Amino acid sequence: MNPLIALMIIVPIICALFLNLLHKKDRTIKAIAIVMAITLPLLPLLANYGLHYFGGYEPLYQNPALSKGLPSLITGTALNTFHPAITYSFQDAQKLFIFILGLVAFLAIIVSLFETRRPSGVYGFMMFMGVAAVSALILTDDIFNFYVFFEIAALATVGVVLVSQVKGNYETALKYMILGSIASPILLLGIALLLGVTGNVNITDIILSLKSGAVNPQNPVILMACGMIFFGWLYGSGLPPFHTIKSAIYSKALPHGAALLQAFSVFTFIALGIIILRIFSYLPLSQLVIIGVSLLAMIMGITMAILQTDLKRMIGFLAVGELGYIGLGLGLGTALGITAGLFQAVNEVVITAFLFIGFGTIYYQSGESDIRKLGGFMVKNPKVALLVLLSGFAMAGVPPLNAFQSKLMLIQASVQAGLPELGVIMILLSIVTFMTFMKAFHAVYMRPQPSDLEIKNDFIPKATILALSILLLVCLLLGLFPQMATNYLQGISTSLAGGVP
């Protein structure tokens, strides 16, 4: 029993509630938010691996005092090993994911505190609540608990969009909520069907009853449940057909908010993706469907990114397209493929946050995100221009930055799995990604400044530069020493691939 595991959820929730109470006390909000944000990446580093049972209800076989005197109907059957409590499992992969989520959240919160003129407690509330919800999504081993935090994460996403005061944010938020209110009950129905068939909501127990033959794994109801949970997955992570609304959500949030929102959707993507792989990977079509959807996401996301004129919308579509790489890795089903996919997920969170915060300086300075009206920022702040250029290199997969390593691993994995065509598509789309990025970079930084462009803030806060430097450092570190991340991911990918290393 490790109390720090529960604290990873409780600390951000308490901080969120506390910030909401402090209204219009700017100094206090700033101080508290900074202190609490620092703890977010530290907690997973300090915690030990293990399982946390809420309420302390362990499985019966672990607690002989409790099982004494119970009839053999309970102790002699599978009931003995079932998990009666909501179980959180914290292993090495979760450690890496929550650390990266905490780091991005920390940087986004710091940047937001220094870039908004009056730090608002409500904005902090939404950000911390989202971090708590997504940490729970990564940790939880209980599929209904997953649904609850899935809904909270969606509400927090909407909240981040609502407080941004970007034009058209309310309309986009309402559209997102309407789609969400159709998709989440469908996810709940999928969970209900699984519960009806297996009698459990704990994922480990569901897998146990499917593997041990207590439930017929070829039952068509399970196929239906798989389809419904898959639909929830598409919505939660913004794969097609939800890619337009997801990128609109990113573009209507403030840049630091968008940096955090994309981290939310990537981690929702892998958390639910891992659950789907764990439960349904024996179904014949599941991996094929995952690969198909991922390919569609890559192609649609990246080709639509070229057509955009809004800077944030463009990065939003690129972020959706990059999700496809992760999905391809998961869909390959081999240990190397899954490691590469999860590694790509970590890299993508860092790089997209880097891009959003980097291009966010433009929005901060001019209040404009239409690339046709921008230009001439290279002269104003060459340092930031260099950092943004490096982030674009990182996204396209230029060595020695981190996405190079993960994309190389993905291509190797696809060749090994006998699908070299996927590798070709990935390389082509990387080139298109780079082209899109260079188009935006040229328009914003290299062109002469249009005469009607009005500069609101001349100086970029030091905190933003610091955040960008930290993100660059992470990119470089992961690019030079990919083992730092892949060692953490080996365990989970081996177990997902069915024990084959």
Partner 1 sequence: MIMDTQLASLFTAGALIVIGIFASVFLDNLIKKVIGLAFIGDGANLFLIAMGYKPGGIVYIYLPGMARDWFAQNSAYPLPFAMVLTSIVIGASTMAVMLGIIMVLYKKHGSLRASKVLGE
Provide the minimum distance between the beta carbon of 227 and partner 1 in the complex, in angstroms, as a whole number: 15
Nearer to partner 1, 191 or 259 (CB): 191
Give strand pairing partners of 370: 310
Residue 5 lies near partner 1 (rule: CB under 8 A): no
The residue length of the chain stands at 501
Q: What is the rounded (10 degree) CA torsion for 484, 358, 463, 134? A: -60
* Count of C-beta atoms within a 10 Å radius of residue 46: 9
Cβ–Cβ < 8 Å for 362, 311 = yes
Give strand pairing partners of 310: 370
Provide the minimum distance between the beta carbon of 458 and partner 1 in the complex, in angstroms, as a whole number: 33
Provide the minimum distance between the beta carbon of 195 and partner 1 in the complex, in angstroms, as a whole number: 6
The two tokens of residue 112 are: 């937001």
How many whole angstroms separate alpha carbon 180 and alpha carbon 53? Answer: 30
Among 199, 367, 400, 420, which residue sits at the site for partner 1 (rule: CB under 8 A)? 199
Provide the minimum distance between the beta carbon of 479 and partner 1 in the complex, in angstroms, as a whole number: 41
Among 192, 299, 419, 476, which residue sits at the site for partner 1 (rule: CB under 8 A)? 192
How many whole angstroms separate alpha carbon 296 and alpha carbon 290? Answer: 10
Cβ–Cβ < 8 Å for 444, 373 = no
Q: Is the backbone of residue 113 left (phi > 0), alpha (psi -120 to 50) or beta? A: alpha
How many whole angstroms separate alpha carbon 178 and alpha carbon 172? Answer: 10
Q: What amino acid is encoded at 235 in this protein?
A: Y
Nearer to partner 1, 101 or 154 (CB): 154
Nearer to partner 1, 246 or 407 (CB): 246
Helices 483-496 and 255-280 pack at an angle, to 10 degrees, of 40
Nearer to partner 1, 177 or 398 (CB): 177
Among 50, 76, 196, 491, which residue sits at the site for partner 1 (rule: CB under 8 A)? 196
Question: Running DSSP on this structure, what letter comes out for residue 55?
Answer: G
Provide the minimum distance between the beta carbon of 37 and partner 1 in the complex, in angstroms, as a whole number: 25
Binding flags for partner 1, 64-103, as an x/- string (CB under 8 A):
-------x-x------------------------------
Number of helical (H) and strand (E) elements in the chain, helices listed first: 21, 2
Q: CA 260, 464, 263 angle in degrees (round to 5)?
A: 15
Nearer to partner 1, 87 or 402 (CB): 87
Provide the minimum distance between the beta carbon of 374 and partner 1 in the complex, in angstroms, as a whole number: 23
Nearer to partner 1, 153 or 319 (CB): 153
Cβ–Cβ < 8 Å for 109, 124 = yes
| Of 156, 159, 122, 153, residue with least CA distance to 135 | 153
Restricting to residues 130-189, which ones interact with partner 1 according to CB under 8 A? 144, 147-148, 151, 155, 158, 162, 170-171, 173-175, 177-178, 180-182, 185-186, 188-189
Nearer to partner 1, 165 or 218 (CB): 165
Provide the minimum distance between the beta carbon of 428 and partner 1 in the complex, in angstroms, as a whole number: 33
Restricting to residues 359-398, which ones interact with partner 1 according to CB under 8 A? none
Provide the minimum distance between the beta carbon of 111 and partner 1 in the complex, in angstroms, as a whole number: 26
Provide the minimum distance between the beta carbon of 77 and partner 1 in the complex, in angstroms, as a whole number: 13
Question: Running DSSP on this structure, what letter comes out for residue 308?
Answer: -
Cβ–Cβ < 8 Å for 277, 293 = no
Residues 6+ apart with CB under 8 A from 306: 432, 435, 436, 439
Question: Running DSSP on this structure, what letter comes out for residue 54?
Answer: G
φ, ψ of residue 140 to 5 degrees: the values are -70, 150
Nearer to partner 1, 94 or 202 (CB): 202
Nearer to partner 1, 171 or 421 (CB): 171
Nearer to partner 1, 148 or 419 (CB): 148
Map residue 51 onto helix, strand or coil: strand
Nearer to partner 1, 71 or 284 (CB): 71
Provide the minimum distance between the beta carbon of 487 and partner 1 in the complex, in angstroms, as a whole number: 37
φ, ψ of residue 50 to 5 degrees: the values are 155, -175
The two tokens of residue 160 are: 């981040």
* Count of C-beta atoms within a 10 Å radius of residue 196: 10
Provide the minimum distance between the beta carbon of 99 and partner 1 in the complex, in angstroms, as a whole number: 29
Provide the minimum distance between the beta carbon of 144 and partner 1 in the complex, in angstroms, as a whole number: 5
Size of the site for partner 1 (CB under 8 A): 28
User: Which residues are at the interface with partner 1 (CB under 8 A)?
Assistant: 71, 73, 144, 147-148, 151, 155, 158, 162, 170-171, 173-175, 177-178, 180-182, 185-186, 188-189, 192, 195-196, 199, 201
